Structures are given as C-alpha cells and as structure tokens.
Amino acid sequence: MVMMRTHTCGELRAKHAGKKATLCGWVETHRMQGKISFILLRDRYGVTQVFVNPEFTKKIGELRRESVVQIRGAVKKRPKEQVKKDMLTGEIEIGATEINIITKASPLPLEPNENIASSEEIRLRYRYLDLRRPKMVKNLTLRHKAIQFIREYLDKKGFLEIQTPILTKSTPEGARDYLVPSRIHRGKFYALPQSPQQYKQLLMVAGMDRYFQIAPCFRDEDARADRCPGEFYQLDLEMSFVKQEDILNITEDLFIKMIEKIFPDKKITQKPFPRITHAEAINKYKSDKPDLRKNKEDKDELAFCWIVDFPLFNKQTKEDFFHGAGNEWGPSHHMFTAPKEEDISLLDKKPGEAKSYQHDLVLNGFEVGGGSIRIHDPDIQAKIFDLIGFTEKQKKEFSHLIEAFTYGVPPHGGIAPGIDRLLMVIMGEESIREVIAFPKDKSARDPVMNAPSEVSSEQTDELGLKIKSR
C-alpha cells in the first residue's frame, strides 16, 4: 500500500459508497457481536464505523481500546433508517478487507471519552490522552482559528509580526521574574520576558510603525482560575503616531470581526464597546472589571467594555505589590504608561491624583487585555522612575531605552490582550487550562514532563551555582 491512508475518519459520506478507502486511527471501541465485530475508528476529524467479518474478527481477537490501526475496506451506504445522525460519517460504514495493527495500547489511565470524567490531576498528567477528546480537539482548533484570524487581520492592516528575544533582561511589569543563569557570563542571569514591552517600544524607535506578535510571556506568580502560573500568550501589539482612540478602535474591530467569524453563536452585548472611566467603574460597579452582561445565565453573551482614565499610580500594598518599585507608589499599569497631559503638573504635588493613558479591555468581568499610550519624553520618564522609587542602579537598567529615546522616538502606544484568558471567556470555560494544550498545574508544575526537575551537579557546576538546602 503506497499511502498510509486515503481519507480521515471524519471524511467519508454517502457519495463515497462503492469506493475503497484506507483509514488510520485509534480504536475508540471494538464491540464483539458473536462472530462478527464493529470497530469505531477515531482520529482528530471524526469517527467511522468499521464492520469486521467473522474471519477477521477471529484473526485479530479483541482489540484494546486506543490501539492504532490501519483499515482498508469498501465504503458501504447504510440503509436510511440506520443512518447515524450524531456522526459526521453516519451515512456509511466500512467493510474491512484488511486490518493492520500498528501499535497496541496498554490499559489506559484515562478514558478519552467525554462521558467519563477524570480528575484534573490525571487529565493534566496524561494530557496527550486528554487531548484526544473531541472537546479538547475543538478547543484547540478554535484557538488555532482565532490566532489565524488575528494574523490575517493585522497583516491586512499593515502590521509586521516580529519575534523578540526570550532570553533577555527583565521588564519589570509587576511580577517576579523567571531567571536563567548564564554559563558564559558566570554570576549573571537572563530573565524571561514578562512581556516584550521594551522591545516593542524599541521597534517603534526603529520605525517599524506597526508591530504584533503572539508572544509568550513569563511571570512567576500564583495560579488563579483565570491565570496559569508560569507562562501565557499575549497578542502583543504596538503602533506609532496614534492616539489612544486608534488603539481602542482597531482592537475592538479585530475582536468583533474575529468573534463573528470564528464564534458565530456568540452575541456581543454592546457595539461599540462602552468606554467607562476608572472612577465611574469603581463608583458604579465597585470594580475596575465590571461584568456588564444583561443576562448572566446566557452562556453565549459577551459583554465587552473599555476602562480608561486609570490613576497613574497605585499605593503599594502587601496584596498588590509591584515588584521592582519602591514602597510607596507602584505604577497602575507599568512605568512606560504616559500620564494625561493635563495631569503632568500633578506629578510633583499629588502623584496619586494623576490619571494616565492606560486602557484595559474587560469581558464578562475579566480583564482580558491592557495597554497604554507610552511616555516618549525622556524627562517625564525620568520623573516616573523617581516617583516609583527607582534607585540609581535600577534607573541604569533602563538606560538603553532612555538613550534610544534620544535618537528620535515617535509617539506610540499599544495593547496586549491575553490570548488564553480571552479565549477562555469567549468559549465559556471555567478554567484557563481548557484552552491550553499543555498547561502548568496549580503549583506551577508541568505534570506531563514533570518540570521543574533537579539537574545534575555537572550542570550546576558549569553555571557556577550552588543549591542551598531549604
């Protein structure tokens, strides 16, 4: 046989009747019925029923579920009354003329079946089995389509997709960094980016004008239902020569069109998205991420809003501590967010009252993205560094950005919606892990690979590291 398969398990229809087909897939079930048997053969695309005659049934014995087989046979149309409406391929079945068992499956720790619940611990440990379930296939397919849509949309609008370094220096954006020790520069560390914030601003200095990236971001913070510890993906974008309104409009248009195309069952409550000031949100809804759904029982309702006019600074508190800043003020967003022009005079006297050009995108009560117009005046940037209590040493860490701004910086701004969280809310999932192929568990472990793990003393020696016992 030249080809491994001629069709997928979701492809055959009545029009293929009379043809020969070769399918490959996983044995979802092998049902013995006296001397004959039936295999339900599954792959990512669907399930096909295979009729196995007495001779083959005897030859192959009972197949273990999830074994991988190749089946060749004739496509037969089912009589009308036997059409299985709940199966894409329900009009036909295959009469096997050849069955090759490619790999046998051991007894399963997890049933890749929607109707049999497994604990999340087992699901994450055997994620590759869990991902065989149609629901997970659907979630990952929708995620792919949404990202594909974003790429095409932004490409048409003139954005360049540019990859920025993963081994870099930390961008202090409030969370703890993941550090990577350097072998060549002993005693020095890279940090994994909390976001590509400084790089995207440097790309604007470079004149790239419109940039985006589906960017992995790394933050050493605790898990929440809507936050995977460790890493997540953002749609990171930045534009030059724009006002805040331009950023809101393009983001809004992108998501409305994406939802209409990829999630046509969903209904957006209000278009254009309402724009609410931070003060109004706190007054009226007691929250800076209000849930504006009209009917909270409706799983297809999507209520977006923008929150604008944030205070530039928050008082540092134990619960909400901006790592990297001093003890008094932390930036509400990050230290590159521009204050409103009319509030610049407040910076000296009442910094807590100054408002900024931060914008948050909120969906059904979740913050799904944040961004801002950036500071492009080195003097104001220096002032902000002082106000958040940066030491001279910390300021030096940013000298490359401040220097870059002395060589011609365009006014610029952007946003970074979180892909995982946005899709979780759009798809109505309760846990962000349902839209991620291999998520970390709640204690930031990768349960499939069992990371983090100990490394050899050769490795730590090479890095000049000594692990203290706890």
Which stretches of the chain bind ligand ASP, using CB under 6 A?
A: 173, 195, 197, 370-372, 414-416
Q: How far is the CB of 394 from ligand ASP (least distance, A)?
A: 18
When the beta carbons of 49 and 171 are compared against ligand ASP, the nearer one is 171
When the beta carbons of 164 and 372 are compared against ligand ASP, the nearer one is 372
CB neighbourhood size of 246 (10 A): 13
When the beta carbons of 94 and 375 are compared against ligand ASP, the nearer one is 375
Q: How far is the CB of 319 from ligand ASP (least distance, A)?
A: 19
Q: How far is the CB of 11 from ligand ASP (least distance, A)?
A: 42
When the beta carbons of 25 and 369 are compared against ligand ASP, the nearer one is 369
d(CA 269, CA 327): 41
When the beta carbons of 24 and 401 are compared against ligand ASP, the nearer one is 401
d(CA 369, CA 279): 19
H helix or E strand, kind and range, residue 371: strand 366-373
Q: How far is the CB of 2 from ligand ASP (least distance, A)?
A: 50
d(CA 38, CA 54): 11
Residues of 265-293 as b/e, b for ≥16 C-beta within 10 angstroms? ebebbeeebebbebeebeeebeebbbebe
H helix or E strand, kind and range, residue 260: helix 244-262
Q: How far is the CB of 446 from ligand ASP (least distance, A)?
A: 22
d(CA 378, CA 420): 34
When the beta carbons of 211 and 329 are compared against ligand ASP, the nearer one is 211
Q: How far is the CB of 180 from ligand ASP (least distance, A)?
A: 20
CB 273 within 8 A of CB 304: yes
Q: How far is the CB of 144 from ligand ASP (least distance, A)?
A: 23
Using alpha carbons only, give the angle 46, 69, 15 rounded to the nearest 5 degrees. 45
When the beta carbons of 170 and 197 are compared against ligand ASP, the nearer one is 197
Q: Is the dihedral of CA 62, 63, 69, 71 positive or negative?
A: positive
